[in-house]
């Protein structure tokens, strides 16, 4: 799947008939049938390093799930470098951090988007303790509450090799999709990121390769 420019962050919304949008729909189908167990409800999106396209992938996947008549919530858990509020043009003055720190009800901080059935929980103001906040009892309780309200919850997490936040969220998810920029990140780094997920017993259910050619596909296989 090719990298998208910022102008086309939500190509699945702007041009649902495009080949790239069809690629996202194929990924949606693969995710839904990734396991022989129940379909994954909470799915986190991460990458080995920053700037590989995880936030764009997460947002476009959210649109495709909503287009399939699912009640969808995007949570921006990349508390240090949030992006979902920019992609969906919503406010970041309140969000996940305000909900957790102030024990607010989800409906007080969740914002609707221009896509029917799709809502966003922005990151909110950057806290001084992101890792502790994401691993808190409040976070666990919030996710349990949100499971009852949405069919699919997609979480945008930080890059795995940058901070400990991503494995923390991955362990709370039903599955993880890793986005890899094949023209930027080395195979060794990807393997280390995969090992970090395995260490917390996170289930890797999908991999998205950006900027890929056939030779690189062989090297990553």
Question: Distance between alpha carbon 56 and the CA centroid of its chain, in Å?
Answer: 9
Across 21-35, 44-58, 111-125, least confident range: 21-35
Whole-structure pTM value: 0.90
pLDDT band at 5 (very low <50, low <70, confident <90, very high): very low
Q: Is the dihedral of CA 115, 91, 55, 153 positive or negative?
A: negative
Note the pLDDT of residue 213: 61
Residue 60 tokens read as 């476009």
- Residue percentage of the chain with pLDDT more than 90: 72
Residue 219 has pLDDT above 60, yes or no: no
Note the pLDDT of residue 125: 96
Residue 126 has pLDDT above 50, yes or no: yes
pLDDT digits (tens, 9 = 90+) for 201-212: 999 998 998 876
Residue 196 CA to residue 164 CA, distance in Å, equals 9
| Beta carbons within 10 angstroms of residue 69's beta carbon | 10
How far apart, in Å, are the Cα atoms of 11 and each of 94, 130, 202? 26, 30, 29
How far apart, in Å, are the Cα atoms of 58 and each of 36, 45, 47, 128? 23, 6, 11, 25
Residue 106 tokens read as 């989800």
Note the pLDDT of residue 6: 42
Mean pLDDT, residues 22-47: 88
CB 9 within 8 A of CB 56: yes
Domains and CATH numbers, the chain: 10-220 (3.40.50.300)
Across the chain, what does the average pLDDT equal? 89
Closest CA to 47 of 147, 212, 159, 144: 159
86 CB contacts (<8 Å, ≥6 apart)?
none
Residue 75 has pLDDT above 60, yes or no: yes
- Residue percentage of the chain with pLDDT more than 70: 90
């Amino acid at each position: 799947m090719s990298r998208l420019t910022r102008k086309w962050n939500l190509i699945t919304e702007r041009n649902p008939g495009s080949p790239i949008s069809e690629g996202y729909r194929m990924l949606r189908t693969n995710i839904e049938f990734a396991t022989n167990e129940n379909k994954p409800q909470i799915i986190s999106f991460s990458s080995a390093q920053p700037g590989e396209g995880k936030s764009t992938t997460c947002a476009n996947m959210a649109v495709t799930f909503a287009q399939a008549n699912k009640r969808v919530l995007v949570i921006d858990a990349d508390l240090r470098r949030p992006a979902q509020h920019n992609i969906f043009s919503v406010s970041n003055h309140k969000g996940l951090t305000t909900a957790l720190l102030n024990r607010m009800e989800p409906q007080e901080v969740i914002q609707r988007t221009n896509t029917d059935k799709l809502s966003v929980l922005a990151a909110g103001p950057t806290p001084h303790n992101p890792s502790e906040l994401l691993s808190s009892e409040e976070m666990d309780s919030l996710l349990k509450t949100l499971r009852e309200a949405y069919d699919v919850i997609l979480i945008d997490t930080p890059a795995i090799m940058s901070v400990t936040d991503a494995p923390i969220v991955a362990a709370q998810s039903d599955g993880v999709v890793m986005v890899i920029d094949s023209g930027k990140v080395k195979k060794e780094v990807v393997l280390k990121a995969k090992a970090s997920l395995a260490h917390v017993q996170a289930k890797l259910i999908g991999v998205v390769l950006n900027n890929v050619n056939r030779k690189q596909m062989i090297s990553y296989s």
